[in-house]
Amino acid sequence: MAIMLAFAIICGVCGIGTAQAKTPQSEIITLGTMAGPMANPLRGQPATMLRWSGGIILVDVGDGTIEQMARAGIDSVPLKNVVITHIHADHVGGLFALLSRRYQLMDPPITIYGPRGTEIMVNGLLAAMEPLKRTSPALPGAPVRIPSDSVRVVEIGDGSEFKIEDIMVRAVANTHYVKQGQVLNPEIDQSLSLRFELPGRSVVFTGDTGPSEAVIAIARGADVLVSSILDIDAAVAAIRTSRPKAPQAFFEAARLHFAQHHLSPREAGRLAQEAGVKRIIFTHIGITPDRMKAAQGELAQTWKGPVVFAHDFGRY
């Protein structure tokens, strides 16, 4: 962690991290930067806030997101829009807490955008709130509010284009859902990468993905690429430590999975270079501090531009 923070500071001093010549019209706030699903005492699960003068958008809702918003000094009440890149536990684990607290506090309606399956998931979470609804005290004179009346779901997919407030958003399916080199079901199982046309700059989220021509295309010329990154050797080593008695085939399958579903430093740099983005902000960081220098060296083989490894509560 100390190495990551030091690198972020160095990048800022060099003018390639958070420092910019002028104050941007929009802000990227990394609430959680840990590659899940394993918990980490120092970093939260994936969640990023986009903020501009016209509103805020939350991208992914990892465990503890609502607490991370509070720690960052962000009021959750005005939040009206959430976008989910894909339905994996580390990206949606905090959604129940977000919805249940909004119900208890009678916050304004919220819209959740996400790939196919998002509606089933949200409906299940709302159904799980029935005991909460029966036992929660209502404000004097206030009607009992049904959660489904205040939660709207919009399912999006490969090629979707839509507006959130005054922000144009585009989505493409990436290669996070693959098995033995093949997408599980391109019509149903989609992990999305997203491009947001914010005031003053374009921001692309890779979400979780492996190498992908579709992501290169949607990221073409973007001002900022918010990318995941994974040290495959370290990831496999962590699994070995947590499951020392697992058979060798298990670890081999894990390595193949990581290589197909995620971006190594080299592949992340290649994607950014081919897309011609102006800078990279890495989040969903699956790199241990002792491996950071090696990862930076690997990244430098394919990417020569500005980069910062984000930390929780970073503002860019």
Residue 197 CB-density burial (10 A; 0-12 exposed, 13-18 middle, 19+ buried): middle
Please name the residue that has the structure tokens 């989505």: 171
pLDDT in the model for residue 38: 78
Torsion of CA 137, 138, 139, 144, to 10 degrees: 170
Query: 3-class SS at 27?
Result: strand
Cα gap 10→231, rounded to integer Å: 21
Confidence of residue 9 (pLDDT cuts 50, 70, 90): very low
User: Which CATH entry fits the domain spanning 2-315: 3.90.1200.10, 3.90.45.10, 3.20.130.10, 3.60.15.10?
Assistant: 3.60.15.10
Lowest mean pLDDT among 156-170, 185-199, 274-288: 185-199
Cβ atoms of residues 286 and 262 within 8 Å: yes
pTM of the full predicted structure? 0.86
Residue 85 pLDDT > 50: yes
Q: Could you list the beta-strand ranges (E) of 118-274.
A: 151-155, 161-164, 167-173, 178-179, 182-183, 192-198, 201-207, 224-230
pLDDT in the model for residue 185: 65
Report, as an integer, the average pLDDT of 209-234.
95
Lowest mean pLDDT among 6-15, 245-254, 285-294: 6-15
pLDDT in the model for residue 191: 95
Q: Please list, in sequence order, all residues whose beta carbon lies within 8 angstroms of the beta carbon of residue 2, skipping any fewer than 6 positions away.
A: 289
- Calculate ∠ Cα 292-12-74, nearest 5°: 95
pLDDT in the model for residue 7: 38
CA dist list (Å): 99 to 46, 96, 255: 17, 5, 35
Cα gap 283→31, rounded to integer Å: 10
Strand partners, 83: 59, 113
Parallel, antiparallel or unpaired: strands 110-114 and 81-83 = parallel
Lowest mean pLDDT among 96-105, 180-189, 277-286: 180-189
Confidence of residue 19 (pLDDT cuts 50, 70, 90): very low
Alpha helices per DSSP H over 109-247 = 118-128, 130-135, 147-150, 213-218, 232-242
Tell me how crowded residue 242 is: count the other CB atoms within 10 A of its CB: 9
Query: 3-class SS at 198?
Result: strand
Confidence of residue 96 (pLDDT cuts 50, 70, 90): very high
Confidence of residue 106 (pLDDT cuts 50, 70, 90): confident
Query: 3-class SS at 213?
Result: helix
Lowest mean pLDDT among 109-118, 144-153, 213-222, 286-295: 144-153
- Sign for the CA dihedral angle at 29, 35, 39, 42 comes to negative
Residue 193 pLDDT > 80: yes
Residue boundaries of the structural domains of the chain = 2-315
Average pLDDT taken over every residue of the chain: 87
Confidence of residue 189 (pLDDT cuts 50, 70, 90): confident
Tens digits of residue pLDDT in 239-262: 888 888 899 998 888 888 788 889
pLDDT in the model for residue 112: 98
Tens digits of residue pLDDT in 141-175: 554 555 456 899 999 999 999 999 999 999 999 99
Phi-psi region of 203 (alpha: psi -120 to 50; beta: other; left: phi over 0): beta
pLDDT > 90: percent of the chain: 66
pLDDT in the model for residue 262: 93
